[in-house]
Amino acid sequence: MLHANFAPREETAPASLAAARPEEGFPLPQLYARVSKHLLPGEWPAVAREVEAIERLKKERNAVVLGHNYQAPEIFNTVADIVGDSLALAREAVNVDADVIVLAGVHFMAETAKLLNPSKTVLIPDDGAGCSLADSITGADIRLLRQRYPGVPVVTYVNTSAEVKAESDYCCTSGNAVKVVRHVAREWGVNRILMLPDEYLAQNVQKEVPEIELIAWKGHCEVHERFTPQDIRDLRESYPGIVVLAHPECPPEVVAEADFAGSTAAMADYVGDHKPGRVVLITECSMADNVSVHNPEVEFVRPCNLCPHMRRITLPKIRRALETMSVAVEIDARVAGRARAAVERMLAVR
């Protein structure tokens, strides 16, 4: 169950907060400036203590924190050393100069980091941080699909378990799906591809590659599937001139109503490059919180659909993960090698 309804909220700060001036000795004022629209001054000292503890532990453990774009602002803007979408985190995980990686995201992201860094310790602060999309398909499902579609290559979304990746030929993300699909069709000399498990992503990519038949699975993200075309029409009526950016995990009819569709990284780049006067990101709510920090002149109207799984990751849990070195992500060696190959093939596509 999601934590909030669609009802949009504009980026406004209470007058008392806007007028507040940190007192002398106020902790980490530079970091507080990044989250001041989300945390009251009275809340910050307790948060700052967690941040200071995490920073100390990172040095002791030679650890880095990877933070997904959907993480809460108090994580994304304070302790995360590397931030981005799933593609960026997958790529950066390979280059991390650390002994320990803490993945502030969901479980499949931590598994991907472990696949690419088998000799490093990868921690997930809450082992229950799952994903409705990843849970929609299993390795056994793919084996059955291969029997039904012999010789058809399998491209799976990175939002899947290691077990599923191990049964795949290539992985992809929302940011590189079109490029990967075209690459696979060319390399394999085929015009049919199994693209799993996100049905809406496959349908949206299909519009970009009409020459290739994409066979989809009925997996959905529980956040993005809730958006409707009427939601966007209502936003345009309520906020004339608003620019609408949608994630390709949304239904195709929602993407069709948007001005631009792309991964979380692409949406962030669009805001930074175009500086729309007023914008709405049709995706998880925390995304707008984090993008707004670097675009203070842009007004964000926010459809508040929060991912309950991402919200399981908190600063106290990150601190505890570093204190106890748990929960460490482990992947069966028989699975890891094949899953790693699918991810590495994706990363090799440029």
DSSP assigned state of 209: -
- In this prediction, residue 10 carries a pLDDT of 45
For the chain, where are the alpha helices, taking DSSP H only? 15-18, 29-35, 44-61, 73-76, 86-95, 107-116, 139-148, 162-166, 177-188, 199-208, 229-238, 252-257, 264-274, 285-292, 315-324, 333-348
- In this prediction, residue 4 carries a pLDDT of 33
Kindly report which listed range (3-12, 172-181, 326-335, 339-348) carries the lowest average pLDDT score. 3-12
Q: 17 pLDDT band (50/70/90 cuts)?
A: very low
Q: Average pLDDT, stretch 165-177?
A: 96
> Hey, what amino acid is at 315?
L
- In this prediction, residue 6 carries a pLDDT of 42
**Which residues does residue 300 pair with via DSSP β-bridges, in sequence order?**
279
User: For strand 299-302 and strand 9-10, is the pairing parallel, antiparallel, or unpaired?
Assistant: antiparallel
Query: pLDDT of 135-164, one tens digit each?
Result: 999 999 999 999 999 999 999 999 999 999
Say how far apart CA 256 and CA 145 lie, in whole Å: 30
Quote the mean pLDDT of the chain.
92
Query: pLDDT of 105-121, one tens digit each?
Result: 999 999 999 999 999 99
pLDDT at 285 over 60: yes
Block residue for tokens 């012999």: 150
Please state, in angstroms and as integers, the Cα–Cα distance from residue 265 to each residue in 173, 186, 214, following that order: 11, 26, 24
Q: 239 pLDDT band (50/70/90 cuts)?
A: very high
